[in-house]
Structure 1
Amino acid sequence: MPSFDVHVSNHHNRVMITVAGELDFDTCPRITQLTDTVSIRNRTLCLDLAGVSFMDASGLSLLHSLHRYTEAEGGTLELSGLQDQPRRILELTATDA
């Protein structure tokens, strides 16, 4: 099984989640568990995906869910550090905007 790591840092108006490994069916629940424990009301949730080289449909679904969740809480979702394969998934599904 490939290595997977997720780390959260909580700042005044921003929650930064750094992910390393594959964003897939097996790993997405770990991110959901983490985001369920931090308040994002009126804050920015930033996902640093520089360490993510692969994302499947589960990862895409997670990003959609996080986007809806942050908007409902009055916040915003930002993605940073997208590698080629995850970026291509977002482009192909027209969700890269």
Structure 2
Amino acid sequence: MPSFDVRVSSQHNRVVITVAGELDFDTCPRITQATDAVSIRDRTLCLDMAGVSFMDASGLALLQSLHRHSEAQGGALELSGLQAQPRRVLELAGPGT
């Protein structure tokens, strides 16, 4: 199994989750655990995906869930560092994803 790592840093108005490895069915629960452990009320949740070279449908579903959860908490979801394959998955999913 490829290596996977999730790191969390929290600032006043922002929570940054840095992910490295593949974002798939096996690894998505680790991101959910990390986001559940921090308050995102009225804060931006930034998912740094510079270290993510592959994302499947489970990763897409996770991003959609994080987006809805962030908005429900009065915050926003921000993605950064998207590599080619995850970016393509998001493009194929279309607007509103």
The TM tier, using the shorter chain, reads: over 0.9
For 1:9, the equivalent position in structure 2 comes to 9
Amino acid at match of 1:68: R
1:58 aligned residue: 58
Instruction: Name the structure 2 match of 1:25.
Output: 25
48 and 36 in structure 1: CA distance in 2 versus 1, 3 angstrom threshold: same
Residues 75 and 52 (structure 1 numbering): CA distance in 2 closer, same or farther, change over 3 Å? same
Alignment length, in residue pairs?
97
- The runs of 4+ residues in structure 1 deviating greater than 2 Å are none
Paired with 1:96 and 1:68, the residues of 2 have a C-alpha distance of: 11
What corresponds to 2:78 in structure 1? 78
Q: What secondary structure, in the 3-state scheme, does the structure 1 residue paired with 2:82 have?
A: coil
- Any stretches of 5+ residues in structure 1 without a counterpart? none
Q: Which has the higher strand share?
A: 1
> TM-score, length-normalised on structure 2?
0.97
CA RMSD of superposed structures (Å): 1.1
Match of 2:31, as an amino acid?
I
Task: Extract unaligned runs of 5+ from structure 2.
Answer: none
Alpha-carbon separation, structure 2, partners of 1:33 and 1:11: 19
Percent identity between the aligned chains? 78
Tell me the distance in 2 between the aligned counterparts of 1:13 and 1:95: 27
The 1:80–1:5 alpha-carbon spacing in structure 2 relative to 1, beyond 3 Å, is same
